[in-house]
Amino acid sequence: MRKGFLVLVAILVLGLALAPCGWTAQKTIKIGINAPITGDIPKVGEGSKYAAEMWLEDINAAGGLEVGGVKYNVEVVVEDNESKPESAAKAATKLITEDEVLAIVGPQASSQAIPAGEMANNYGTPMISPWSTNPDTTKDRPFVFRGCFLDPFQGPVVANFIKEEFGFTKAAVLYDVASDYPKGLAEVFKEAWEKNNGPGSVVAFESFTTKDADFSSQLTNIINSGAQVLFTPQYYNEVALIVQQAHELGWKNPIVGSDSWGSAETVKLCGEDCYGLFFSTHYASAGATGATKAFIERYNKKYGYVPDDVGALTWDALRIVQAAIEGTGGLSGDLKKDREKVKDALAGIKEFAGITGKMTFTPDGDPIKCAVIVRISDKGEFEFFKSVCP
Amino acid sequence: MQLFFQNLINALQWGSFYALIALGYSMVYGILMLFNFAHGDIFMVGAYIGFGVATGLTALAAMGALALPNWVILVLTILISMFLTSFVGMLVERIGYRPLREAPRASAAITGLMIGIILETGNLAILGAQRIRFPSLIKSTTYDLGGVFVTNKKIMIVVVSLVLMLALNEFIRRTRWGMAMRAMAFDYVVIPLMGVPLNTIASLTFALGSGLAAAAGILFAIAYPVLDPYIGIIYGWKAFVAAILGGRGSIKGACLAGFLLGFIEIFVGAYMPSTVRDLIAYSIILLILVFRPHGFFGEPHSAKLRL
């Protein structure tokens, strides 16, 4: 026991003594990951972390990241935002001020990305959210970018898809009024639907607040309103509850969701109730080709399940950051200036071929890319149904 | 009319959970003058224990070791989990509250909050943050009664809750232990002097309350099969409101107030914008308390209350 302790102390002392030499030998670039490791959507955090691990593997296999002829070590710092807005802002601040990262990837959900984006922008640190589709995340924030399409795009995509596929004219919406993402998307959908089908064609616009488990009074109203389809842009844990309760209350029409459904957990929690339902998302794992397929297979082999869209988008976001850092043409070592440089390089990327599709960037730092409509098959797989481009 | 009956059925189910959880609060509060703020988390622990028992039993049944139909597994799950969770409740009392029995009541209440956090984060540490899907022990069948939809699960939940409430009522009214509990609620300073063992009664109270919370947890998990370590907090708070609304230590009051809470929440949600549901629902309850500060069946506190 005591001997073991002495050995431990010796190792620690040795480590301390050698550490500074290590730093001077090869410079390090730190990339922060701001992800919900615990909290409401831990699977999203896990997917982000795993994608980052795989990315780091590639970098290390290449002996580091080469910027302007100098090789840099890359370190990934994962900070847990507990899936809470205030923790996300705290995590961003910690990554920026204490860990001194060059750029941040994440947070994923809009409710966390919006406050964290404010911090990143105030501190002049480039941040890219792979999954946040709410416009406010990047609006008037030169340092904040994203790797996915926006709600104003996804809303009409879903509204048009339902119109074309089913020809319905009356829709109901059920959403969490206390969460940025569902609230934003619900409103955009309503606008798009009423543009297609006339005012008042969203016959029920019902809401609840985060952590609610019983939706029976809202669903009873929805069923009674004569709606032909239910749109619910919720996260996977709520989707399972909403879909099951709707069926138990006698709802037999389609239920359609958005990209927040695209987690590996959705079907696990929801079971057969979710079979045959549709949602819009960033990519479909079943039937993927090329680099996307390679990524899915590698991820599946390493972690034992097919990655959801968050994993794929985080991978793309990291590669965009990598491209930007490489595109700076050399770092000065002054963190403030380097962050500025990376931001300019990010803003300068015109086109990027990611595994979630080809994207071009607008001056606001938002990509333009295609959305995919996925059908949950009778085996519980996410099946490609159709692609909708802007 | 159809809409009204549908909401009525929804409210009956929703109120059952509040009523069952509120009973545990009310008993502990009535007998030991203690706000057991860990109670909501015992509800959560009960649901998780239920998950473990149900998974174990279905696995045994699948292997052929137990040839049991699903409804027997369900009944066994509820009974075994109630039994196991009552020990969790007794443990909480033994290590969390008993050492603080002479301490100011505020300290004991804070202890409850801390035990709650320990249970939540302990669960998080052991099982991780992943959501758990509760196994569907009974296949959900929906009956259409002239436009009002009822499932077999809903009927089962309401019936089981009512049976448990009646059983508790009988226990407290008809047994010696029940009499001791009622006496203790009357005066917990003098009654122990007459030879009623305070510690045993305290343990019993916690065991009963926790058992009911476990039953509520399992029924809840059957209706809303997605579990996470924090489900206990919000329902714990709301059931606490029901316990106070029902009146200190009143079994009848806790049940009625639990159902009333369910009714108010569901009906406000049904006829008002759902966004303001809790705002309106809890304003109504605040109003009731303003006019009936001791709740429906509570009596004014005796002078011995030390808060």
Question: According to the model, what pLDDT value does residue A7 have?
Answer: 64
**A220 → closest Cβ in B10, B128, B153:** B10
For residue A105, the number of C-alpha atoms closer than 13 Å in the C-beta half-sphere is 31
Cα–chain center distance at A210: 19
pLDDT digits (tens, 9 = 90+) for A136-194: 898 889 999 998 888 888 889 999 999 989 999 999 999 999 888 899 999 999 999 99
The single residue listed with the structure tokens 């920026």 is: A96
CB contact under 8 A, B7 and A217: yes
Does a structural domain hold residue B303? no
- Measured from the Cβ of residue B146, the count of other Cβ atoms closer than 10 Å reads 8
The DSSP bridge partners found for residue A28 are A73
Query: Counting every residue, how long is chain A?
Result: 390
Q: Where are the alpha helices (DSSP H) in B93-197?
A: 105-127, 152-174, 176-186
CA B21 to chain centroid, in Å, comes to 1
In a domain, B300, yes or no: no
For A260-273, how does the pLDDT look when each residue is reduced to its tens digit (9 = 90+)?
898 878 888 998 89
Every domain of chain A and the residues it spans: 28-149+290-370, 151-281
Residues of chain B in contact with residue A43, where contact means CB-CB under 8 angstroms, are: 130
Residue B49 backbone class (left: φ over 0; alpha: ψ -120 to 50; beta: rest): alpha
What is the CATH number for B248?
Answer: 1.10.3470
* Among the partner residues B226, B267, B278, nearest to A237 by beta-carbon distance: B226
Of A217, A237, A269, the CB nearest to B274: A217
> Any chain A CB within 8 A of the CB of B136?
yes
Domain count, chain B: 1
**Would you call B7 and A206 a contact, using CB atoms and an 8 Å cutoff?**
no
Closest Cβ–Cβ partner in A45, A248, A265 for B140: A248
Distance of CA A47 to the CA centre of its chain: 9
The position carrying tokens 């980052």 is A52
Q: Between these two residues, A85 and A361, which has the higher pLDDT value?
A: A85
CA distances from B240 to B22, B173, B258 (A): 6, 23, 9
Residue at B78: amino acid letter: I
- Element holding A76 (H helix, E strand): strand A70-80
**pTM (2 decimals)?**
0.81
Between 3.40.630.10, 3.40.50.2300, 3.60.110.10, 3.40.50.300, what CATH number should domain A151-281 receive?
Answer: 3.40.50.2300
B43 domain residue, yes or no: yes
In the numeric block, the tokens 């409430």 are attached to B165
pLDDT of B138: 84
Measure the N-to-C terminal CA separation of chain B; round to a whole number of Å. Answer: 47
Please give the radius of gyration of chain B, using alpha carbons only, rounded to the nearest integer.
Answer: 19
State the average pLDDT for chain A: 88
A213, B224: Cβ pair inside 8 Å? yes
Q: What is the CATH number of domain A28-149+290-370?
A: 3.40.50.2300
Cβ <8 Å between A271 and B13 = no
Q: Cβ(A113)–Cβ(A179) under 8 Å?
A: no
Give the C-alpha separation, A352 to B299, whole Å.
72
Q: Do domains A28-149+290-370 and A151-281 have the same CATH topology?
A: yes
Contact B245/B257 with Cβ under 8 angstroms? yes
Cβ-nearest to B10 among A42, A216, A241:
A216
Closest CA of chain B from A216, distance in Å: 6
B301 in any annotated domain: no
Q: Is residue A284 classed as helix, strand or coil in its secondary structure?
A: coil
pLDDT score at A380: 87
Determine the average pLDDT of the residues in A335-361.
Answer: 88
The predicted pLDDT at position A21 comes to 46
Residues of A in contact with B140 (CB under 8 A): 244, 247-248
Q: Which two tokens stand for residue B210?
A: 């926790």
Residue A16, pLDDT > 80, answer no
Low-confidence ranges of chain B (pLDDT < 50): 303-307
Rounded-to-integer distance, Cα A95 and Cα A77, Å: 8
Q: CB-based burial of residue A85 (10 Å sphere; 0-12 exposed, 13-18 middle, 19+ buried)? A: buried
| Per-residue confidence (pLDDT) for residue B100, from 0 to 100 | 87
Q: Do residue A177 and residue B275 have CB atoms under 8 angstroms apart?
A: yes
d(CA A84, CA A32): 17
Tokens (6 digits) for B73:
């597994």
Task: Kindly state the average pLDDT of the residues A315-337.
Answer: 90
Q: What distance in Å separates the CA atoms of residue A181 and residue A310, rounded to the nearest whole number?
A: 15
Which domain, by its residues, includes B220? Answer: 2-291
Crossing angle for the helix pair B198-223 and B176-186, nearest 10 degrees? 100
* Interfacial residues of A (vs B; Cβ cutoff 8 Å): 37-40, 42-43, 45, 177, 206-209, 211, 213-214, 216-218, 220-221, 224, 236-237, 240-241, 244, 247-250, 265, 268-269, 271
* Residue A262 CA neighbour count, 13 Å, CB half: 27
Is the preceding omega at residue A107 within 30 degrees of 0, hence cis? yes
Torsion of the alpha carbons at A215, B4, B213 and B289, rounded to the nearest 10: 100
Q: What is the pLDDT of residues A211-224, one digit of tens each?
A: 889 999 999 999 99
For chain A, give the percent of residues with pLDDT over 90. 56
Compute the nearest-CA separation of B269 from chain A (Å). 6
Radius of gyration from C-alpha coordinates of chain A: 22
Number of CB pairs, chain A paired with chain B, less than 8 A apart: 92
Q: Report the residue of B14, B17, B131 to disrupt the A interface, i.e. the one with the largest count of A CBs within 10 Å.
A: B131
Residue A17 has pLDDT above 60, yes or no: no
